[in-house]
Structure 1
Amino acid sequence: MNTPTARTAAAEAVDPRSWKALGVCLTAGFMTLLDTSIVNVALPSVERSLHATGADLSWVVSGYALGFGLALVPGGRLGDLHGRRTMFLIGLSLFTLASAACGLAPGAGWLVVFRLLQGVAAGMVSPQVSGLIQQMFQGPLRARAFGMLGSVVAVSTAAGPLAGGLIIAAAGPEHGWRWVFFVNLPIGIAALAAGRRLLPRALPSASRRPGFDPAGLILLGTGVVAVLLPLLQEQRWTGRGKWLLIGAGVLLLVAFWRWERRQDARGATPLVAPGLFALRSFSLGALLGLIYFAGFTTLFFVYTLFLQNGHGYSALQAGLAATPVAAGSAVAAAVGGRLVVRHGRRLVARGLATVAVGLVGTIAVVQLVPGRSVAWVAAVPLLLAGVGSGLVISPNTTLTLSKVPVALGSSASGVLQTGQRIGSAAGIAAVGAVFFAHVTHHDDWAGALQLGLLTSLTLVLTALAVAVVDVRSTDSD
């Protein structure tokens, strides 16, 4: 008899190579996400070694984020059209080579160029990871795999400052920054070798249409650049004129959307299938992800600044102080991957509420606990916020991509992650503006952190409202 238990057992007996291939994907995902933050603590070392200016250092960080955001959607579409395995291996090869070039950079200008290339390579790899998970797994196993991916996202995001601090301490302040990049080489080479052997080849698809939509690529690329640049450079570009770029970027993205609908209507190949946004699970999940990343990812930015500049913590000490968030998020993401099939968007809503409680607790600790001991007491609410985050990121990814056709899996992931990158940049700009304005006018780091966290809390509560609307709409169906 083909009972549910028997079907579950059969699903669990999926080709063991799929789990090994998932390990390759998660390793590459960890590397590319770690490089978004690991460089931050290496900037003083870069400044001394290469005599870099403030603008150079800014672009070492923001150039990677910009390249990453630009490549996500076209990288995902190329994976859908020409095979995720192929694009994964090409992107990972380029990322490994760009990491070597960054470590060998003879000057600050070269380092900025190589960081841009490294970001583009990361943007090519990242959507293939989600697309391959959709290709290799179904049902509860897919949710479990996304839970593991969520743990990787959580750990890599929070572990960057800690990993960078450890490498700088071991390799020395003069050239330690080079080893921040060189550490990617053995990992990247090993992942490439394993990927060639384990990753599945493209699924045959009679419906796949040739073409790439270069006009759509130009409209999307210029639109994303126009939106991201003033956000990434908010602290360095003075004057209000920079915000006009965001308006221009929005107009370009509207033109991109209208062009994509026209391409689809006449049977050509759109860069992003308009039908994706007809799926409520995808459109609401993408919106929720954008808002949530704007709120929560800024926590690491303002909290480490508060500890280092306000209380004299070293980069390594500040990184260690952020580990409760990573630990709580990693464990909860794995658990959330198992629970999301049963609880759906309610689980995400509960996670968002938990994050909000953790942020409120952190604000209270900063208000009530003076001196350097604040990090010890704040570890408890930060752990709670991390647990909540783990119940948001991977379950939301699972739900957002759950009804997306496998043939569009990488492009859908590219769109989802582009929104997350824009959200992160917008959140850092907004929270950073509040944070630095208070420091400048009051020289009060604790007050600045509280105001920054209140801004983050507002964004998290907005994401919670989106989740509640989705839950109520689902209940009424």
Structure 2
Amino acid sequence: MPRKPVVAVSTLVTFITGLNIALVVIAMPTIRTTLGLDSSAQQWLVSAFYLAVGLVLVPAGRFGDTHGRRAIFVTGMAAFAVASGAAALASHEAWLIAARLVQGAGLGLALAQMFGTIQRMFAPQERGLPFGAVSAGINAARVVGPVLGGGLVAVGGTEWGWRWAFLVNVPFGIVIAILGWRLFPVAERTDRPRMDVVGAILLMVGLGLVWLAQGDQLPAWLTWTILATGAAALVGFVRWEKRYARHGVPMFDMRLFQFRSFSTGMIIAVFYTAGYDGIYYIMSEYLQHGLGHDELVTGIALTPLALGAAISSVIAGSKAGRLGRPLVVSGLLLAAVGLIALLVADLFLPGPDSPHAATLPLLLAGLGGGLITSGVAGGLVIAPNLTVALSPVPATEGGSAGGMLETGQAFGGGLGVGLVGTALFASLDRTGDWLTAFRIPILVIVALFAVALAAALANLLFPDQNVPRS
């Protein structure tokens, strides 16, 4: 099987994932105006995508491990293309959110096959470069996406501009599906064990309910009931998987969490992605609604963040096999410095010139992000962290293990948008001042990065004693 074409297709998948996220974030104010979205619906428009990605990654990865990757990859990309067309025709919020759910599910199916294939095709010490390539794909999309989104809204106007932001996904999805059919493996093993259906249901129900508990419009008693039920389902999933592993192939092998590189990698994936995606959300809201800039100017102002990540991700990927852990720590430190610099700069330059004042600290944050992130909606891939985390994972577990890490990233992205959005709107309701409201979510993002940094330091100072398995 040719390796470079598969990596190229994988890079296209992450590119379209990042482009989809960036376009929606930039077009969000126009969508809100056209469809009359409230703050809750607006957050769900972003979060629904991450939710759908996160729900299907692990089951899709396991299915690909045992039954082959081509059919499910093509199905996912075809569903994404159809859902993108449906989103462009949406006339109310329920329609659009439903389309976003299908978009996320489709990309989740494809992403799981992509990472499982790379895991099988490349030895542990070789994976940094392909993971760096897919990282470059999503970060390149984040360079192009804000400017393209702003341009589409400016040219298409209030009614059609945001619809074109969805329609541009359709040809991408069709082309990637065709390439996947030609390049991805049909089956990788002759024995096909039964799927762990109970494990899949428990995981999806648990994650879905925990996600639903984030809704800010629910009564307190209902929120806690949903959260408790979701937590019980996840505990049941863990217990079931341990039991099922005695006589079959579980949905996810819980023994992988015994490796510190994998367990800390999960923490980093969740909390860093939460902070990184939170940056895009808060900056887009602040620049457009707080400072009055249009979508195009906002897109240009956000370009340094993704540009820094795109440049450094390739370099970090090529070095991840030897310097993975130090790169993760260095990236988190540099990203935190960039955010603090952004906060300090805005104290002195909060006016209309803020996009220019934000350029340097955003670039610093982007460079730090590029060292560890490869990012997906609602998933994003963290290149050196992913390389280190998956180093002890057998190739036969690559799809489900990569899917679990991607699930962490997808839920981290939704968590970041939820926390940052809640902090922003709560502060606005209390103070009515955008400048003050902007600073509080930035501090929330710094705190998220701090949790990821603590996990990265633990992995650096106390690495696994086990010899990684190929």
TM-score normalised by length of structure 2:
0.90
Cα distance change on mapping 1:425 and 1:470 into 2, 3 Å = same
Q: Aligned partners of 1:449, 1:398: CA distance in 2, in Å?
A: 34
Counterpart selection for 1:377 from 357, 360, 363: 357
Match of 1:363 in 2: 343
1:285 Cα deviation from its structure 2 partner: 0.7
- Secondary structure of the structure 2 residue equivalent to 1:403: coil
The yes-or-no answer on 1:399 pairing with 2:399 is no
Deviation at 1:45, TM superposition (A): 4.8
The question of whether the paired residues in 2 share the 8 Å contact of 1:26 and 1:129 is answered with no
Name which of 419, 422, 431 aligns with 1:433: 422
Provide the rounded CA distance (Å) in 2 between the counterparts of 1:378 and 1:19.
37
> Which of 55, 74, 81 is matched with 1:89 structurally?
74
Give the C-alpha shift of residue 47 in structure 1: 5.5
**Which 10-residue stretch deviates more, 291-300 or 39-48?**
39-48
Match of 1:69 in 2: 54
Distance 2:201 2:67 in 1: 20
Whether 1:253 and 2:242 are equivalent positions in the alignment is no
- 1:259-313 deviation digits (Å, cap 9, x = unpaired): 1111012x12311122222222211111121121222221111122111111101
SS at structure 2 position matched to 1:271: coil
Aligned equivalent of 1:470, options 445, 455, 459 = 459
Instruction: Tell me which amino acid in the other structure corresponds to 1:24.
Output: V
Shift of 1:162: 3.2
CA distance in 1, matches of 2:348, 2:101: 43
Task: Give 2:209's aligned residue.
Answer: 226
Q: Distance in 2 between matches of 1:53 and 1:368?
A: 32
Which residue of structure 2 lines up, in the alignment, with residue 29 of structure 1?
14
Please report how far the alpha carbon of residue 210 of structure 1 lies from its aligned counterpart in structure 2 after TM superposition: 1.5
Q: Deviations over 1:326-361 (max 9, x none)?
A: 000111111001112221311111111111111111
User: Where does 1:268-287 land on structure 2 (aligned, <5 Å)?
Assistant: 268-287=248-267
Letter in 1 for 2:129: R
Separation in 2, partners of 1:449, 1:106: 31
Shift of 1:143: 0.9
**Counterpart residue type for residue 64 of structure 1:** F
Long gaps (5+) in structure 2: 374-382
**Which stretch has the larger CA shift, 153-162 or 52-61?**
52-61
Q: CA deviation at 1:395?
A: 0.5
Instruction: Indicate whether 1:132 and 2:117 are aligned.
Output: yes
Report the CA distance shift for 1:250/1:456 in structure 2 as closer, same or farther (over 3 A).
Answer: same
Is the CA contact (8 Å cut-off) linking 1:45 and 1:175 kept in structure 2? no
Q: Name the CA distance, whole Å, in 2 between partners of 1:82 and 1:475.
A: 31
Q: Distance in 2 between matches of 1:123 and 1:476?
A: 33
Q: Look up the equivalent residue of 1:372 and give its one-letter code.
A: P
Aligned-residue offset at 1:172: 3.2
Matched position secondary structure for 2:350: coil
Work out the CA distance in 1 between the residues paired with 2:233 and 2:409: 19
Give CA-to-partner distance per residue, 1:57-79, whole Å, 9 cap, x none.
55443332222221111111111
Do 2:53 and 2:107's aligned partners in 1 also have CA atoms closer than 8 Å? yes
Q: Give runs of aligned pairs for residues 438-457 of structure 1, distance below 5 A.
A: 438-457=427-446
5+ residue gaps, structure 1, are 1-14
Change (3 A) 1:82 1:161: same
Deviation at 1:316, TM superposition (A): 2.0
Q: Secondary structure at the match of 2:187?
A: coil
* CA displacement at 1:43 relative to structure 2: 4.2
d(CA) in 1 for partners of 2:297, 2:241: 48
Answer with 323-332 or 429-438: which moved more: 429-438
Q: Report which structure shows greater RCO (CA 8 Å, sep ≥6).
A: 2
The 3-state SS of whatever aligns with 1:348 is: helix
User: Are the structure 2 counterparts of residues 160 and 461 from structure 1 closer, same or farther at C-alpha, using a change threshold of 3 Å?
Assistant: same
Alpha-carbon RMSD: 2.4
> Partner amino acid for 2:195?
F
Query: 2:18·2:139 contact (CA, 8 Å) conserved in 1?
Result: no
CA offsets per residue over residues 188-208 of structure 1, 9 Å max, x none? Answer: 222222222233443235xx5
Count of aligned pairs between the two proteins: 457
Of 171, 178, 199, 1:186 maps to 171
| Larger CA deviation: 140-149 vs 430-439 | 430-439
Aligned counterpart, 2:377: none
Quote how far apart the aligned CAs of 1:389 are: 0.7
Q: Which residue of 2 aligns with 1:11?
A: none
TM-score (norm 1): 0.89
Distance in 2 (alpha carbons) for counterparts of 1:55 and 1:426: 14
Residue of 195, 207, 210 corresponding to 1:212: 195
Report deviation, 1:387: 0.5
Separation in 1, partners of 2:404, 2:464 = 27
* 1:324 corresponds to 2:304: yes
Contact 2:67 2:192 in 1 (8 A): no
- Report which stretch shifted further, 104-113 or 339-348: 104-113
Contact 2:50 2:413 in 1 (8 A): no
Q: Could you tell me how far 1:415 is from its partner in structure 2? A: 0.7
Match of 2:157 among 172, 186, 210: 172
From the superposition, tell whether residues 158 and 264 of structure 1 become closer, same or farther in structure 2 (CA, over 3 Å). farther
The yes-or-no answer on 1:39 pairing with 2:24 is yes
